[in-house]
C-alpha cells in the first residue's frame, strides 16, 4: 500500500459550526491529541471579532482510526461538541463518496468530470450518468460508466423522479452537469445540500433558461459560471464557486457559449472537488469554503 493510500486509510476530517467563544481550538486540538491523532490541516473562520458564528475544518491522521472511530465520536460529542453546542460532522477519507452525474445534451461539464475521474483527480466513485436524452450514451459508456435515460415531461415528472430516486438511492451526491430539467420541491428537499448544479451565468445575474442569450441582449463585458447547491428555488441555492471571463461587443451569442463552456467546466470541477474533500459548510443561504 502506498504512503498516500495508507494515510488516507487513517485520515479523517471534522467540520464544525458553532457560536464563537474562546477555547474552541484548544478543546478540539486537545481531544485529538488525547486520542493520539496528528492534525495535518486546520482552518477556521469567524463572522465577527467575537460572538459571531465560528467555523472550523480540521484534518487529522489517526493510525487506530478504525478501532477508535466510535470512541472518538462519543468522546468528541460528550467532551467538546456538547460544551460548545456544535453542529459537526466527521468524514473518513477512505469512505469515498458515491456520485451520480446528470446531463441533458451539452457534454462539456460532464466530460470534464469524467476525464478528471479517469485520471484519478476526482476522489469519488461514479455510480452512473443519468440523462433525459440518449445523445451522450456512447461517450459515457466509453468510460465504462452506466448510462441511464429517463424522459421527463411536466406530466411525468413525479414518475421520472421516482425512477431517479431508485437509481441514486445509495448515492451521497448528485451533480447536475448541464441537466436542463427543473427538479421538484420534494426531490430537492430529500436531497438537501447533496445536489450541486452548474449554472451558466455569474449568479445572481441571468437565472433560468438561456443565460447566454440574456447576457448577449444586455451587452455584458463579463460572462461567468456558478456552481451552487440546488434548492427548490431555481438557481438560488448556496453558491460554492464562481468565475468569469472578459468579453466585448464583438462576441456572438455562440462565441459567448463556447467561451463560457470553459468557465463552466472549471468552476464545476472545483466545486465538486471541494465538496468531496469536505471543504464546504453551508451557512444559511451561503457557504463557507475552506479551499
Ligand atoms: N429545483 C431546481 N432544479 C434545477 C435547478 C435549481 O436550481 N433548482 N438548476 C437547474 C439548471 N438550470 C440552470 O442552471 C436550469 C435548467 C432548466 C431550466 C428550464 O427552464 N428548463 C425547462 C425545460 C427545459 C427543457 O425543455 O429541457 C423546464 O424544466 O421547465 C432552467 C434552468 C437544474 N434544475
Question: Is the full-model pTM beyond 0.90?
Answer: yes
Instruction: Tell me if 56 CB under 6 Å of ligand 1.
Output: no
Query: How much distance in Å is there from the Cα of 290 to the middle of ligand 1?
Result: 29
Mutate to test the pocket of ligand 1, among 234, 236, 242, 260 (most ligand atoms within 8 A of CB): 234
Ligand 1 atom having least distance to the Cα of 198: 14
The three grid cell numbers given for residue 287, joined into one nine-digit string = 457557504
Instruction: Tell me if 194 CB under 6 Å of ligand 1.
Output: no
The pLDDT value given to residue 2: 55
- Cα–Cα separations (whole angstroms), residue 162 to 150, 189, 240: 10, 14, 28
Omega of the bond leading into 204 within 30 degrees of 0 (cis): yes
Per DSSP, the three-state class of 35 is coil
Query: Quick check: do 3-92 and 97-289 share a fold?
Result: no
The pLDDT value given to residue 49: 84
Burial 154-170 (b: 16+ CB within 10 A, else e): eeeeeebbeebeeebee
Instruction: Tell me if 207 CB under 6 Å of ligand 1.
Output: no
Return the closest-CA partner of residue 241 out of 208, 264, 212: 264
- pLDDT tens for the 291 residues of the chain, in order: 455 555 888 999 999 999 999 999 999 999 999 999 999 999 999 999 888 999 999 999 999 898 999 999 999 999 999 999 999 999 999 999 999 999 999 999 999 999 999 999 999 999 999 999 999 999 999 999 999 999 999 999 999 999 999 999 999 999 999 999 999 999 999 999 999 999 999 999 999 999 999 999 999 999 999 999 999 999 999 999 999 999 999 999 999 999 999 999 999 999 999 999 999 999 999 999 999
Positions annotated as catalytic residues are 235
Mutate to test the pocket of ligand 1, among 105, 158, 192, 209 (most ligand atoms within 8 A of CB): 209
The pLDDT value given to residue 243: 98
Query: How much distance in Å is there from the Cα of 201 to the middle of ligand 1?
Result: 13
Return the closest-CA partner of residue 13 out of 45, 47, 59: 59
Fold of the CATH domain 3-92: Alpha-Beta Plaits (3.30.70)
Ligand 1 atom having least distance to the Cα of 104: 27
Instruction: Tell me if 208 CB under 6 Å of ligand 1.
Output: yes
The pLDDT value given to residue 7: 80
Per DSSP, the three-state class of 108 is helix
Pair 248, 221: CB distance under 8 Å: yes
Query: How much distance in Å is there from the Cα of 180 to the middle of ligand 1?
Result: 5
Question: Quick one: residue 244, left, alpha or beta (phi over 0 = left, psi -120 to 50 = alpha)?
Answer: beta
Instruction: Tell me if 197 CB under 6 Å of ligand 1.
Output: yes
The pLDDT value given to residue 1: 47
Per DSSP, the three-state class of 200 is coil
Fold of the CATH domain 97-289: Rossmann fold (3.40.50)
The three grid cell numbers given for residue 24, joined into one nine-digit string = 474552541
Query: How much distance in Å is there from the Cα of 175 to the middle of ligand 1?
Result: 13
Instruction: Tell me if 237 CB under 6 Å of ligand 1.
Output: yes
Query: What residues does each domain of the chain span?
Result: 3-92, 97-289
The three grid cell numbers given for residue 237, joined into one nine-digit string = 441555492
The pLDDT value given to residue 4: 57
The pLDDT value given to residue 51: 84
Amino acid at each position: 500500500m502506498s504512503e498516500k493510500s495508507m494515510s488516507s486509510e487513517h485520515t479523517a476530517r471534522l467540520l464544525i459550526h458553532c457560536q464563537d467563544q474562546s477555547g474552541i481550538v484548544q478543546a478540539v486540538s486537545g481531544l485529538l491529541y488525547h486520542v493520539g491523532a496528528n492534525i495535518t490541516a486546520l482552518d477556521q473562520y469567524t463572522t465577527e471579532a467575537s460572538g459571531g458564528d465560528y467555523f472550523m475544518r480540521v484534518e487529522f491522521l489517526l493510525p487506530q482510526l478504525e478501532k477508535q472511530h466510535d470512541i472518538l465520536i462519543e468522546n468528541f460529542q460528550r467532551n467538546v461538541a456538547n460544551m460548545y453546542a456544535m453542529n459537526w460532522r466527521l468524514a473518513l477519507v477512505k469512505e469515498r463518496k458515491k456520485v451520480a452525474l446528470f446531463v441533458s445534451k451539452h457534454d462539456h461539464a460532464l466530460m470534464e468530470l469524467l476525464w478528471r475521474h479517469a485520471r484519478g483527480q476526482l476522489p469519488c466513485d461514479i455510480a452512473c450518468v443519468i440523462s433525459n436524452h440518449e445523445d451522450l450514451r456512447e461517450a459515457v459508456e466509453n468510460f465504462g460508466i452506466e448510462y441511464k435515460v429517463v424522459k421527463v415531461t411536466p406530466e411525468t415528472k413525479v414518475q421520472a423522479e421516482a425512477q431517479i430516486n431508485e437509481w441514486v438511492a445509495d448515492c451521497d451526491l448528485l451533480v447536475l452537469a448541464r441537466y436542463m430539467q427543473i427538479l421538484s420541491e420534494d426531490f430537492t428537499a430529500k436531497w438537501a445540500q447533496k445536489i450541486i448544479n452548474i449554472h451558466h451565468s455569474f449568479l445572481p445575474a441571468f437565472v433560468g433558461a438561456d443565460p447566454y442569450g440574456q447576457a448577449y441582449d444586455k451587452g455584458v463585458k463579463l460572462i461567468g459560471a456558478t456552481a451552487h447547491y440546488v434548492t427548490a428555488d431555481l438557481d438560488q441555492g448556496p453558491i460554492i464557486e464562481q468565475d468569469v471571463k472578459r468579453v466585448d461587443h464583438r462576441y456572438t451569442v455562440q462565441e459567448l457559449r463556447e467561451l463560457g463552456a470553459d468557465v463552466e467546466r472549471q468552476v464545476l470541477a472545483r466545486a465538486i472537488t471541494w465538496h468531496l474533500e469536505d471543504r464546504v459548510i453551508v451557512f444559511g443561504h451561503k457557504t463557507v469554503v475552506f479551499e
